[in-house]
Amino acid sequence: MQKNTFKFKITLFGAGGVGKTSLLIRYIKDYFNPELKQTIGSNFLIKDVEVENTNVRLLLWDIGGQEQFSKLRQIYFKGSNGAFGVYDVTSQPSLLKLPGWISSIKKSVKKSIPMIIVGNKTDLKRQVERSEAEDLVKRLNCCDYLETSAKTGENVEQAFKKIAKACLESVKEA
Ligand code: G3D
Ligand code: MG
């Protein structure tokens, strides 16, 4: 790792089953495993990227199968530089869980951090209107909204790039 590398902790959040682990695996390893089992515990994966001629190391945290335990959430979010929220475009309840997650983040992280929301599983028949998701994302003050498919790979790289870029901009502003 070069000396001038920025390190950002980016935490994934969202309801169980929306595709957080699949998105991470698609991004890091470029494959999709339909047999993927529910993650146990939280994992983190590392990806080195270049953003605007700057070396950035992303520490990507995946909460695993314990999404429902709010005490764990606080530990998990602590020290995050950015957050990556996921819902499933075939599940309205998964969209409506995002505000609760974001209030957990605000309780755990003192300063305001960039957040991106992705609507995943665009390869399936959607149940949530894009405009509804966009409205919510705007109300939640997230920096961006994208739609992805961990299955086809659509927009996956772009989504992680956006959050990396937003993290970099936030440290440069500070
Ligand atoms: P999670 O980590 O948010 O809990 P997972 O979600 O990554 O474990 O994914 C939950 C299920 O959704 C998995 O299926 C996975 O294969 C599927 N999935 C994830 N992303 C996509 C996607 O973009 N498109 C489609 N069609 N399916 C996706 P199983 O059957 O193992 O539960
Ligand atoms: Mg998982």
**Which pLDDT tens digit goes with each residue over 148-174?**
999 999 999 999 999 999 999 998 887
Strands 43-51 vs 54-62: parallel, antiparallel or unpaired: antiparallel
Distances in Å between the Cα of 86 and the Cα atoms of 2, 12, 25, 137, 148 are 31, 7, 14, 11, 9
- According to CATH, the topology of domain 5-173 is Rossmann fold (3.40.50)
**Which pLDDT tens digit goes with each residue over 63-116?**
866 656 667 788 889 999 999 999 999 999 999 999 999 998 998 998 899 999
Q: Is 68 in the pocket of ligand 1 (CB under 6 A)?
A: no
Q: Domains of the chain: which residue ranges?
A: 5-173
Q: Of the ligands numbered here, which is closest to the C-alpha atom of 121?
A: 1
Helical H runs in the chain?
20-29, 70-77, 92-96, 98-108, 130-139, 156-173
Sheet of strand 144-147, all strands in order from the earlier edge strand to the far edge: 43-51, 54-62, 6-13, 82-88, 115-120, 144-147
What pTM was estimated for this model as a whole?
0.93
Q: Is 36 in the pocket of ligand 1 (CB under 6 A)?
A: yes
